[in-house]
């Protein structure tokens, strides 16, 4: 069981000024912030990040959405991080998300759903490396 996951506060939530409230939910749930930045993704970066969804009908809209404004990637640490964080954010579609979850509270719809969460330990490592260099992770390390 791994202890790291990648969260992203997506552009819709940043536009709605929800960064603070979402981070509060995350830290109240016991996650530690290991690295964080605010960044406007290029099409190449967003397209690469969501490469696994390339064949899906919503891929182009997803890349457009993720590049529509700044987002806030956050490397998180907690025991059982991937599973616990996915439980905290709720289902992809906010209509299906459990009460009190971040997506239930803050997501507009299945496409613009406020936050990202890694789906496995392996992908968490890949996704953290997508946004944070080894140097950044070491220099900014918070124990
Ligand atoms: P996840 O974010 O809950 O892991 P994924 O299936 O990995 O969900 O999809 C990645 C992202 O693509 C979603 O968070 C959402 O922004 C978008 N997405 C997923 N399914 C749909 C859909 O059916 N229509 C439009 N956008 C979608
Ligand atoms: Mg996913």
- Regarding the beta carbon of 110 and ligand 1, being less than 6 Å apart is answered yes
- Regarding the beta carbon of 113 and ligand 1, being less than 6 Å apart is answered yes
- Minimal CA–CA distance to 32: which of 1, 11, 7? 7
Percent of all residues in the chain with a pLDDT value above 70, rounded to a whole number: 100
Query: How far apart are the CA of 123 and the centre of ligand 2, in A?
Result: 9
Which ligand 1 atom minimizes the distance to the CA of 50?
10
pLDDT at 17: 98
Ranges of each domain in the chain: 4-141
Query: How far apart are the CA of 62 and the centre of ligand 2, in A?
Result: 12
Residues 57-103 pLDDT 10s:
999 999 999 999 999 999 999 999 999 999 999 999 999 999 999 99
To which CATH superfamily is domain 4-141 assigned? Nucleoside diphosphate kinase-like domain (3.30.70.141)
Whether the predicted pLDDT of 143 surpasses 90: no
Which residue's alpha carbon is nearest to atom 6 within ligand 1? 92
Question: What's the pLDDT band for 56 if we cut at 50, 70, 90?
Answer: very high
């Amino acid at each position: 069981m791994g202890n790291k996951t990648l969260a992203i506060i997506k552009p819709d939530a940043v536009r709605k000024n929800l960064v603070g409230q979402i981070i509060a939910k995350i830290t109240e749930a016991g996650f530690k912030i290991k690295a964080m930045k605010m960044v406007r993704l290029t099409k190449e970066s967003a397209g690469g990040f969501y490469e696994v969804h390339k064949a899906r009908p919503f891929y182009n809209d997803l890349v457009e959405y993720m590049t529509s404004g700044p987002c806030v990637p956050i490397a998180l640490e907690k025991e059982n991080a991937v599973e616990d964080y996915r439980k905290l954010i709720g289902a992809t579609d906010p209509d299906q998300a459990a009460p009190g979850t971040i997506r239930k509270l803050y997501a507009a719809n299945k496409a613009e759903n406020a936050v990202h969460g890694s789906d496995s330990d392996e992908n968490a490592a890949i996704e953290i490396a997508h946004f944070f260099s080894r140097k950044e992770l070491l220099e900014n390390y918070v124990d």
